[in-house]
Amino acid sequence: MRTVLDDEVDVSYSQIYVESEDASPFDDMKDTFGGQSNGLCGAAWPGTLWLATGLHYGRVGFRVEVHDERPDADEGWEEIVEAPYRPVGRASLVEWGGGDSWDLGLAETDYRVRYSASGVDRAADAHSRGDDEPMIDRYLLQFWPCPPEPDQVVKQTSRVADHLHELVSTLPPPELPDPDEEARWKAELDEWNREGERVAAEMAAEAAPWGGTLPSPAMRGMGGEARDVALAEKALTRALAAVDLDGQRRIANWLVRRAYQEIGIAELDWVAPALDALDAGETLPPPFHRVGVAWERLRTEPRVPARFAPMLEVGADEDSSLRRAVGTLYAARSLTPLQAVLAALAEAVRAFGADARFPLAELKEKLGVD
């Protein structure tokens, strides 16, 4: 048995994931839970696991184990579910919004995954956990080689788990990616990679006399709305790919600051330090260290412009232009710089629209893209 992780992890919106680097992007939780009987571990989408938690925001106990054969189930856990899983490329446990990740070291073969949980109801009632508060809920994720078998609920005791199991039981299986569409998308990625490598090679050759080398831009790792932006704005994406890694990160941070300026909160005394921390590559200060905490602080802020104030009446989980604009900050913390800038751009486009001067026209002007 190999222990990958035994620590606390950060969850937001009651979510944490297992993602494969070559897996196709999915739209929402229905794609990962459709056709299943359990609502805690969504495994219906190839290469992906959507892991639900009781806590909405904060840190939970989390342990990940990889076994050579099926381990005995520990009946001391309050909730136990199992599902099939097969990685598509390198698989990692990933926090929401580009937070920390842990390489699972899994082979590209069939596994059975068991997801066990305790404290789910208490955590859901608490909603969030402060940094100085005791742990409420904890989880165990176990993998072992096994041919595919349907998912199942092994043990259920909490009302939250009961609700989630019932909720997903009505969802139809997802429409899996069209192989032809996947091939076309991968060909697009390969083309962009070659272009980025060519430009980087030319720039590196020019810098060589000064002893400098420039990194090759990464085009991998894009998914969801970031991928949609890349497909819709190919010239802009190619221009971004040609920017060095530090430049890509600066552009992502610029998008965040401009988004916060557009919604009129960039200069607030409790917001500005977070934008400065992002620019400096530092840990986000409270209240931005937790999505839910930041949103609750924003809801009590009387200086939010009147046109956005009504959007504060809904929760952080609800979609709105304001939430999307605020979300650019977390999108820009994605692991790779190119993914960060495209994810932040996608949030900004959803917040302000594709036809508004910011973000698309302003960014194109900044990069000299027609």
Is residue 16 within 8 Å of 62, Cβ to Cβ?
A: yes
Contact 10, 55 (CB under 8 A): no
The 3-state DSSP class for residue 357 equals helix
Q: Find where tokens 């221009």 sit.
A: 239
> HSE on the CB side for 188, CA within 13 Å?
17
Q: What is the pLDDT of residue 215?
A: 32
Phi and psi at residue 128, in whole multiples of 5°?
-140, 165
pLDDT, residue 309, reads: 80
Question: Alpha helices, DSSP H only, in the chain?
Answer: 29-33, 120-126, 159-168, 179-207, 224-232, 234-241, 245-262, 272-280, 291-299, 321-331, 337-352, 362-367
> If one looks up domain 2-168 in CATH, what number appears?
2.60.34.30
Mean pLDDT, 10 residues at a time, over the chain (370 residues)?
A: 96 93 86 97 96 94 98 97 96 87 96 98 91 94 98 97 95 83 68 66 50 40 69 87 92 96 95 96 90 86 87 69 90 82 92 91 93
For the chain, the domains span 2-168, 179-367
Q: How many CB atoms lie within 10 A of CB 318?
A: 10
pTM exceeds 0.85 for this model: no
Which pLDDT does position 182 carry in this prediction? 64
Token pair for 224: 């969801």
CB 5 within 8 A of CB 102: yes
* C-alpha gyration radius of the chain: 21
Question: Tell me, what's the pLDDT at 256?
Answer: 97
- d(CA 172, CA 48) in angstroms, rounded, equals 17
The answer to whether the beta carbons of residues 219 and 189 sit under 8 Å apart is yes
pLDDT at position 238 is 87
**Assigned token pair, 27:** 């739209």
Q: What pLDDT shows up at residue 212?
A: 46
- β pairing state of 15-20 and 49-52: antiparallel
Task: Report the pLDDT value the prediction gives residue 216, as an integer from 0 to 100.
Answer: 35
CB-CB contact of 120 with 159 (8 Å): no
Q: Which residues, including other chains, have CB under 8 Å from residue 267's CB and lie 6 or more apart? A: none
Q: What single string gives the DSSP state of each residue in 109-176? A: S-EEEEEEEESHHHHHHH-B--TTSPP--EEEEEEEE------EEEE---HHHHHHHHHHTTPPPP-P
| pLDDT reported for residue 263 | 93
d(C-alpha 202, C-alpha 207), whole Å: 9
